[in-house]
Chain A
Amino acid sequence: MNPSAEALRATFGSAIGRAVESCGDTIVYVDRAALLDVMAWLRDTPGQQYDYLVDVTAVEYRDRERPLELVYNLRSLDRRVDVRVKVELDPRGDLTVDSIVPLWRGADWLEREVYDMFGVAFRGHPDLRRILMWETYAEGHPLRKDFPLRGRFSRAEQVRQALAANPEAHYSLEELSIAAAYDELPPDMRERLRRGERGKIPHSE
């Protein structure tokens, strides 16, 4: 068992759930409200120094009683120690968690992938969009257990929506933050930037 588990319990008390050892790795369950503090503490405390975020992912089990788990793999490059932090969420409840992008910039796309595949909303993420599926994808979050293997729509509807997509769609000016270069762009690209062109994005305002 990694001694960080005991140190976490001593520091955060009841916000730390059970700690288990699996295949030589220590897994610490953390309350979702304390996630950001726990991660900051693990990264910055001398003696912990988990400075490298290996991966952010999620698991939903076939057993409907089990919660959806968010998985954070951390590694200390200096101390050569790993720890795995998990947050349990109710898959049919509120799926909102604090984003850890303020701590690790590299969590940006990892959290976008978890959002795309599982629908977990990361509070404070700078740019929470789909990353693997296209943005106008309206069928839901594919890795959820209630998502049918072949998608929710009929094949014909899937083909129709795919063919209706604009393969040359561009992001709008606000989304790209390249306003400084706007005047140097050719007129047609300026027009595209103004319009956005990405189509109707589901669940947007």
Chain B
Amino acid sequence: MKRVLETKEVTGQSPNYLLAKAQDLIDWAVNSSRANSLWPMPFGTACCAIEFMATAASRYDFARFGMERQAFSPRQADVLICAGRLPFKLAPVIRRIYDQMPQPKWVISMGACASTGGIFDNYAMVQGIDTIVPVDVYVPGGPPRPEGLLYGVLLLHKKIKGESLFDRAARREEQPLDERGLRLPPEQIDEISEPFGNSVHQFRSA
């Protein structure tokens, strides 16, 4: 969308004006369709899953935002919602589920533990699921209230509506693991897994 807008500015008198308009229209149609019928793949591992269920139930009801059908199979899902902490034992599982989802796909990391490891700064827990799968929206909280998750979903809608089919930079591409079997360079994983907050008072050696 951003690029198309720029194109319009630059090519005010250009013969590409009509083409840009057409691309704009197609993007609008495609993105609106995608954003308003997101099928979530719930990956609930902890208390965030309870709040996720509350979000899905009648009082908060995320079916209002087109998430009526929860896809309990990754093959029919658009957005992976990791609700809860992720132990290393589940890391290959969530990666496999993510790989099985068809393009385009998005990921919401729900809660502090999924986003950063939270209070579980120990030997068994992944320090942020962004070391395993690319994350689009981080919802803070421990666990976040349903309003929080709904706000995250609305932010995701906004993000989806900013994507473009015609711009490589804004298009979603498959992000496979590299030859080391990692999503990020090892230094980056170590850096974002560093202890913070109260965890800095605990030492690796003690």
B contact set with A: CB distance below 8 Å: 88-89, 91-93, 95-96, 121-124, 126-127, 131-132, 177, 180-182, 186-187, 189-190, 193, 195, 202-206
Contacts and interface: CB of A to CB of B under 8 A. Distances in A.
A159 B205 contact: no
B92 A160 contact: no
A158 B121 CA distance: 13
Contacts of B131: 155, 159
Contacts of A158: 88, 123
A166 to B, nearest CB: 7
A150 interface: yes
B123 A142 contact: yes
**Chain A binding surface, main DSSP class:** loop
A20 interface: no
A166 B182 contact: no
A100 B15 CA distance: 85
A31 to B, nearest CB: 33
B186 A160 contact: yes
Interface string A130-159: 000110000100100001111100111111
A163 B190 contact: no
Contact of A155 (B124, B189, B203, B206): B189
B206 to A, nearest CB: 7
Give the most central of B88, B186, B202: most A CB within 10 Å: B88
Contacts of A150: 121-123, 195, 204
B123 A149 contact: yes
A149 B206 contact: yes
Contacts of A139: 123
B123 A147 contact: yes
A156 B122 contact: no
Contact of B88 (A148, A149, A162, A166): A162
Contacts of B189: 155-156, 159
B182 A156 contact: yes
A163 B132 CA distance: 8
A164 interface: yes
A158 B131 CA distance: 11
27 contacts: A142-B123, A142-B124, A147-B123, A148-B203, A149-B203, A149-B204, A150-B122, A150-B123, A150-B204, A151-B123, A154-B186, A156-B186, A156-B189, A158-B88, A159-B88, A159-B91, A159-B126, A159-B131, A159-B132, A159-B182, A160-B181, A160-B182, A162-B91, A163-B177, A163-B182, A164-B181, A167-B96
A201 interface: no
Instruction: Give the interface centre of A133, A154, A159 by most chain B CB atoms within 10 Å.
Output: A159
In the complex, the 4 A-B pairs of residues with the closest C-beta atoms, listed nearest first = A156-B186, A151-B123, A155-B193, A162-B91
A155 B122 contact: no
A163 B181 contact: yes
A165 interface: yes
A133 B124 CA distance: 8
Nearest to A164: B181
A155 B205 contact: no
A133 B125 CA distance: 12
A157 B96 CA distance: 19
Contacts of A156: 182, 186-187, 189-190, 193
A156 B190 CA distance: 6
A149 B204 CA distance: 6
Contacts of A151: 122-124
Contacts of B96: 167
A139 B122 CA distance: 13
A109 B91 CA distance: 24
A58 B164 CA distance: 58
Contacts of A142: 123-124
